[in-house]
Amino acid sequence: MSASRIEHPADLDVVRTSYDRVADNYVELNLGDLTSYPWLRTAMDGFAAAVHGLGPVLDVGCGPGDVTAYLAERGLDIKGVDLSPRMIDHARRRYPDLRFEVASATELELADSSYGGILGWWSLFNLPRHVLPAVIESFARALVPGGHLIIGTHQGEGDIERTEAYGAVPVSWTTHLWQPKELWAMLGAAGLDSVAELRLSESVAGVPSLVVVAQRAAP
């Protein structure tokens, strides 16, 4: 797998500003709490067990840090990044013992074979469809052999143009819906092997849920 430059989305700054705007409500509504979604929590527990001891873990699009903290409690050496400075402010305030940085998925410079696990937990659906494959390729290169990538996202066809979110706060972003076969094609092209898939009619933000887990094969 060779490195390639990742194109920054044209609306990156608009999306960043929108998440800054909703961050306070997101925290107040406790939307990052996994206990509200038992099947999603089970998927995250499986991911934690699979990557334990393989190396550091990166939570890409960590928001206010709830899932990062959940995985840290399970013994993972984890760091969170998010494109929204306001989200990172909340994460640092709420979990001062953990590491958080401001960065978009398209801005990361990940060293090869440097992470035991990477997650994009409802944090990649704003990326344009032509940009996501390069992001997944960068994640695949950054995994150690045997490392796992878990992606949680909205399942469906087409796109949703959002103008408000999280308590009717004005936003401007596109939610790209994904079918499992589309994600598996990208993961396979990046050199990752399938591990698990979870489809739920239970919704996140009113849309059915999809979780896929893939692994970088050992040599």
Q: Which two tokens stand for residue 203?
A: 């919704």
Give the per-residue pLDDT at 115.
98
Residue 159: pLDDT over 90: yes
Q: Is the pLDDT of residue 1 over 60?
A: no
Tokens read off for 80 = 């969170």
User: Is 12-216 a domain of CATH 3.40.50.150?
Assistant: yes
Q: How far is CA 147 from CA 11, 82, 121, 193, 210, in A?
A: 31, 21, 16, 11, 20
Domain boundaries, the chain: 12-216
Can you give the pLDDT at residue 7? 87
Question: With DSSP H G I counted as helix, E B as strand and the rest as coil, what are the percentages for the chain, rounded to 5?
Answer: 35, 35, 35
| Chain mean position to CA 51 | 16
- The edge-to-edge listing of strands for the beta sheet with 207-216 is 99-102, 78-82, 57-60, 115-121, 143-154, 207-216, 192-204
- The per-residue pLDDT for range 175-200, each reduced to its tens digit, is 999 999 999 999 999 999 999 999 99
Specify the pLDDT at position 36: 83
Closest CA to 92 of 121, 120, 68: 68
**Beta pairing, strands 207-216 & 192-204:** antiparallel
Return the pLDDT at 4: 55
pTM listed for this prediction: 0.95
H helices of 95-179, in order, are 132-142
Separation between Cα atoms, residue 1 and residue 144, nearest integer Å: 13
Nearest to 76 by CA among 88, 60, 58, 94: 58
pLDDT digits (tens, 9 = 90+) for 102-117: 999 999 999 999 999 9
